[in-house]
Amino acid sequence: MNKMSNSNNLLEIRDLVVKFKTEEGIVNAVNGVNYSVPEGCSIGVVGESGCGKTVSAYSITRLLPKNATFSGQILYKERNGKVTDTLALPAEGKEIRRLRGRDISMIFQEPMSSLSPVHTINNQLSEAMILFQNMSKQEARERSIELLDLVGIPNPSRRVDEYPFQFSGGMRQRVMIAMALARNPRLLIADEPTTALDVTLQAQVLKLIQNMQNEFNLSMILITHDLGVVAHMVDYIYIMYLGRVVERGKVVDIFDNPLHPYTKGLLNSIPKLKGKRGERVSSIPGTVPSTYVVPVGCGFAARCPYAKEQCFKELPDRVLVEDEHEVSCFLFNGGEVKEDAANA
Ligand code: SF4
């Protein structure tokens, strides 16, 4: 059924499952993910490495390797209102390439490996505008210079003819942002956009992405392992663990009233400025289980201090605990907060 559950949504991911066939066995990367992006809103998808956050986002534009098998639906509302299931489109077909070229842009983790080292910045920025916006070479060049200026590159009319190796790491990430904007997108997917940058540049680049999102009224999916990064950047947060969403809610609810023990663990592991001298930053005990085996019960059970027998045998349902705040955990039952959960 290709119908959005909410007419305000630009994107809905439904029951997404992605597996990779490898020589060692089947990697269960995404085990039934659901999330939605309302038009003009931004969501943060947060979790440890290997939790499936990047794979689920890359599935939107079918940027999956050939050994991937998948099921579910990814519904995208196009400019004319038509709803398209991008997961059902051929990976190299015209339609998905049109969406990648015009509607959905990505900012990748590592700008040096995402930019072509043998083409000038002008060539790389202009390509999408010439192909998908019918601009002449001259028009695309002028727009490229404007975009470089917009993202804070000094001397843009000179630097547009340079190569990526002539730019610093922070400047390359700014070029990636300009390249994402050149497509005039409606949805921006930013995958750990500041991982390769030092701390001072991280703040600048995040601020720039936020400004661009507001200026162009973009919807955004920000993927990160760092809850601190999303705090001021997004409207909703989805917490992922072992290929599933375990909690989702408005930013204020996730920070003020975290429900899932994993979310609490993530929040406790953020260093605090007002912490006592010598106080250790807490960490979540144990490691993420292997993705070769999908656990029968709750994926977090082996690390959870509140795990009971039931947690190892059954998968907890999603429960709406308060307005737009859902959790998958047996501590919460039928919308009622159990006493032990309130004290957890
Ligand atoms: Fe912990 Fe059980 Fe909740 Fe999983 S379902 S987070 S193991 S209490």
Distance (Å, whole) CA 304 – CA 76: 36
Distance, in Å, from the CA atom of 255 to the CA atom of 295, rounded to the nearest integer, reads 28
What's the rounded Cα separation, in Å, for the pair 102 and 181? 10
Q: How far apart are CA 182 and CA 101, in angstroms?
A: 10
Give the Å distance between the CA of 30 and the centre of ligand 1. Answer: 19
**Residue 294: pLDDT over 90:** no
| pLDDT, tens digit (0-9, with 9 covering 90-100), for 104-145 | 998 887 767 788 999 999 999 999 899 888 899 999 999 999
Residue 315 Cβ inside 6 Å of ligand 1? The answer reads: no
Please state the pTM of the whole predicted model: 0.89
101 closest CA partner among 130, 137, 123, 142? 130
Mean pLDDT computed over every residue of the chain = 89
User: Does residue 329's CB lie within 6 angstroms of at least one atom of ligand 1?
Assistant: yes
Instruction: Please give the share of the chain, as a percent, with pLDDT higher than 90.
Output: 59
Residue 4, amino acid = M
Instruction: Tell me the CA–centroid distance for residue 316 and ligand 1, in Å.
Output: 8
Give the pLDDT score at 223: 94
d(CA 133, CA 181): 13
Q: What is the CA radius of gyration of the chain?
A: 21
Q: Strand 244-250 relative to strand 83-85: parallel, antiparallel, unpaired? A: unpaired
pLDDT tens digits along 132-143: 888 999 999 999
Q: Which residue has the higher pLDDT, 278 or 293?
A: 293
Task: For residue 262, give the ligand 1 atom closest to its CA.
Answer: 6
CB count in 10 Å sphere of residue 64: 17
User: Ligand 1: does its nearest atom lie under 6 Å from the Cβ of 258?
Assistant: no
- Is the domain 9-103+183-271+282-342 a CATH 3.40.50.20 member? no
The DSSP call for residue 76 is E
Q: Which ligand 1 atom is at minimum distance from the Cα of 301?
A: 7
Q: How many CB atoms lie within 10 A of CB 267?
A: 14
Question: For residue 193, what pLDDT band results from cuts at 50, 70 and 90?
Answer: confident
HSE toward the beta carbon, residue 88, CA cutoff 13 A: 12
Cα 150 from Cα 153, distance rounded (Å): 8
**Which string of b and e fits 79-94 if b means at least 16 CB within 10 Å?**
eeeebbebbebeeeee
Instruction: Decide if pLDDT at 218 tops 60.
Output: yes
Whether 334 has a pLDDT exceeding 60, the answer reads: no
Residue 308 CA to ligand 1 center (angstroms) comes to: 7
3-state secondary structure of 217: coil
For the segment 265-274, what is each residue's pLDDT rounded down to a tens digit? 999 887 776 7
The three-class DSSP label of residue 94 is: helix
Within a 10 A sphere around the Cβ of 77, how many other Cβ atoms?
21
Host H or E run for residue 45 = strand 42-46
Residue 342's pLDDT is what? Answer: 47
Tell me, using a 6 A CB cutoff, whether residue 72 lines ligand 1: no
β-strands 9-22, 68-77: how paired?
Answer: antiparallel
The verdict on the CB of residue 331 being under 6 Å from ligand 1 is yes
Residue 300 CB–ligand 1 contact under 6 Å: yes
Question: How many Å lie between the centroid of ligand 1 and the Cα of residue 119?
Answer: 51
Comparing 51-60, 71-80, 176-185, which segment has the lowest mean pLDDT?
A: 176-185
Band of pLDDT at residue 27, cut at 50, 70 and 90: very high
Question: Which whole-number Å values give the CA distances from 220 to 3, 43, 44, 187, 334, in the listed order?
Answer: 21, 6, 8, 6, 31
Does ligand 1 come within 6 angstroms of the Cβ of 307? Answer: yes
Q: Which of 259, 288, 308 to mutate to test the pocket of ligand 1 (most atoms within 8 A of CB)?
A: 308
Indicate if the alpha-carbon torsion angle 110, 245, 236, 35 is positive or negative.
positive
CA 256 – CA 173 distance, rounded (Å):
32
What secondary structure letter does DSSP report for 195?
T
| CA 257 to ligand 1 centroid distance, Å | 17
Nearest CA to ligand 1 atom 3: 329
Angle among Cα 139, 128, 122 to the nearest 5 degrees reads 60
**Ligand 1, atom 5, residue with closest C-alpha:** 329
Asked if residue 304 has its Cβ within 6 Å of ligand 1, the reply is yes
Atom of ligand 1 nearest to the CA of 307: 7
